[in-house]
Structure 1
Amino acid sequence: KYLVALLLSLALLPAWAQQPQFAVRNLPLPKELAYYDNQFSGLYIAKNQLFLMSESRLQDKAEAKLYTVQLADLDRQLADTTYTLPYQKLPIENLARLRAKMAAAGQSYEGLEALVIDQDVVYFSVETATPSTNCYLLKGRLQAAAVVLDTTFLLPVAKPLAPGGAHIYNAGFEALALTNKHLVAFFEYNYFPGQNYAYEFDRAPLRRASAPRQVALDKVPFRITDLTATGKQHFTAINFFFKGDGDDAVYRTPATDTTSSRLIGGPGGYHSYCRLLDVTRTGNGFTCKPLWEFPLAYWGYNWEGIAAYKQGYFIINDKYTPSRPYQTKLLYLQKTR
């Protein structure tokens, strides 16, 4: 009977006790990488390197660029926090020419939001201004000292619309994922009243006139700001809420959604919030469930990039922090359970 009692008590443990836990490790960045106006908006691991993608806001006279850091150097810094990370800058060539093509089509470029790398091919997603009807996918070639974009490849991806046809404020395709045969784009806002979708493209070959298939996606509150592959058919996404009002209020959940609303509000009003989601491809769709909640001290950072590494994750913010001065912060979430 004692064994039965023990098994029953284990079965009644709260769900959070069965979720993975992580220790937050801060990784000091060299001055050039720590500069807040890099506005990093994506991370990716390939070729034994961590790629850090700048939003590359050309309209603000920013440089189009990636940075790379060797994984071996990141391992060394995790063991020795006094170690200064070496890095390489990779200019992104031809982005201005592609931006001009977007403008000619009546679309307003705002920045790069996600990247994935398939051997020497790099795919980027472009966010456009809220009134623009399309976002874009770009394709380039990874070379030793630069990424060279293909100026003949400019693939429009229509933004999903709210009921009544309104555009969702400040929303684009913030996450990309590669599967065996497909490139999948995830929209930032996935709280539409009907079915929500990810957008899947065939990669063999991906052409500038390719049309996506809609793949069912669970309804997700707040924002999906990036996503990383963690295994066969499994991904981890950043699920972030910014407390702002005005147009940002579209990301608030109604009081009737008590599970979500209690995460972002209280007696003092709304507050920023962030967690990780486990995203799984099952059959013909993607399911999403909570994985881990950021500690309170990290809710106010606008986390925009994630890359899975050694059962943990590298995480980076774009620019915005809970208080000024703004700064770039790179974390490693080290699994402890």
Structure 2
Amino acid sequence: MPARAQQPQFAVRNLHLPKELAYYDNQFSGLAASADQLYLLSESRLQDKAEAKLYAVRLADLDRQLADTAYVLPYQKVPIAGLPALRARMAAAGQRYEGLEAMLLVQDVVYLSVETDTPSPLCYLLRGQLRANAVVLDTTFLLPLAKPLAPDGSHIYNAGFEALAAANKQVMAFFEYNSFPGQNSVYELASNPLSSASAPGKLPLAPLPFRITDVTATGKNRFTALNYFFKGGGGDAVYRPPASDLPNARLILDQGGYKSYARLLTIELKDNQLTWQPLWEFPEPYWGYNWEGIAAYRGGYFVINDKYTPSRPYQTTLLYLQPAK
């Protein structure tokens, strides 16, 4: 699989967010474009007293700001109801909630993935309804997703199901780490019927370096994914490709050591398996942002970071990757 992305096809447009949305501790972890809105998912770290919420911004208002940078974006806060009760159920099962990591909208049905701390063996899929002024979670629905294990039986550091997508009436859950020495796979679940007792199937995925941090649909059985590498050591070192993997090692190493890196991938579902190829590299000044959300729009993409930027002060950064004419 080629490691080096193609030449840039997008112009990077930086959108100016209102103060409430730009606040770094929203820690946005997902994006979704649906109907006439762009939805921004907060990680909703209840353990840090954070509010469970989305924000909604009209796509027409984003278009207007792209044409007129002085335009101030209107927005709506959308509370998420029912999350504390579901967190309590996770705790009762011995699993430690850390936050919401991915969002999938299928008409008015909302799917959310929950990341747990590294020692917890399970993550979770939640389901709710998108209403005019709130997301109302079904507190009877709590579907466990077992984390894939390293060959020695340990859990991958800080890894959960960072992306959700839909294909062929299935909900797909992408694990963050996909460099296992054996078969890598994506969970698939029939969306109808779907219950807390549903057992996921597995779609083979070609081994993939670094992290998958979000996925957006771009056509029938075609998706674009964020592929991000953080240069840090410690537990994060598990995401470093082996030195023998020269094509990928070259992307994240220079004379000074490891460097962060970000690109887009194209993922295709065909013959019940998933393949990928590089699509586009972010310009180097944007490699140090922890890109967590992506939503396809008019041939380009909105992308958002959680809070981490190359330097302090941290803040939310929303970009539109505008297709080249």
TM-score between the two structures when normalised by the length of structure 2? 0.98
Q: Distance in 1 between matches of 2:161 and 2:275?
A: 18
Q: How does 1:124-203 map to 2 (within 5 A)?
A: 124-203=112-191
- In the alignment, is residue 47 of structure 1 matched against residue 35 of structure 2? yes
Structure 1 spans left out of the alignment, 5+ residues:
1-14
Matched residue pairs, number? 324
Which ranges of 4 or more aligned residues in structure 1 deviate by more than 4 Å?
A: 15-20
SS of alignment partner, residue 74 of structure 1: helix
Q: Distance in 1 between matches of 2:214 and 2:132?
A: 26
2:93 counterpart (95, 105, 119): 105
Equivalent residue number for residue 56 of structure 1: 44
1:274 counterpart (249, 262, 282): 262
- In the alignment, is residue 245 of structure 1 matched against residue 233 of structure 2? yes
Deviations 1:14-43 (A, max 9, x none): x98965610000000000000000000000
CA 1:82–1:117: 2 relative to 1, 3 Å? same
- In the alignment, is residue 231 of structure 1 matched against residue 231 of structure 2? no
Q: Distance in 2 between matches of 1:130 and 1:185?
A: 18
Deviations 1:52-71 (A, max 9, x none): 00000000110000000001
For 1:267, the aligned partner's letter is: Q
Q: Distance in 1 between matches of 2:65 and 2:88?
A: 41
**C-alpha root-mean-square deviation of aligned residues, in Å?**
1.4
TM-score between the two structures when normalised by the length of structure 1? 0.94
Structure 1 residue 188 displacement after superposition: 0.1
Structure 1 residue 119 displacement after superposition: 1.4
Structure 1 residue 179 displacement after superposition: 1.4
CA 1:16–1:244: 2 relative to 1, 3 Å? closer
Deviations 1:194-233 (A, max 9, x none): 1100100001111110011110001000000000000011
Equivalent residue number for residue 290 of structure 2: 302
Equivalent residue number for residue 117 of structure 1: 105
Structure 1 residue 180 displacement after superposition: 3.0
Structure index of larger Rg: 1
SS of alignment partner, residue 194 of structure 1: coil
Q: Distance in 1 between matches of 2:88 and 2:192?
A: 28
Deviations 1:249-271 (A, max 9, x none): 00001110001100001110001
- In the alignment, is residue 35 of structure 1 matched against residue 23 of structure 2? yes
Q: Distance in 2 between matches of 1:121 and 1:310?
A: 23
SS of alignment partner, residue 249 of structure 1: helix
1:89 counterpart (77, 102, 117): 77
SS of alignment partner, residue 154 of structure 2: coil
Structure 1 residue 120 displacement after superposition: 1.2
Q: Distance in 2 between matches of 1:18 and 1:110?
A: 36
Structure 2 spans left out of the alignment, 5+ residues:
none
Equivalent residue number for residue 10 of structure 1: none
| Higher RCO by CA contacts (8 Å cutoff, separation 6 or greater) | 2
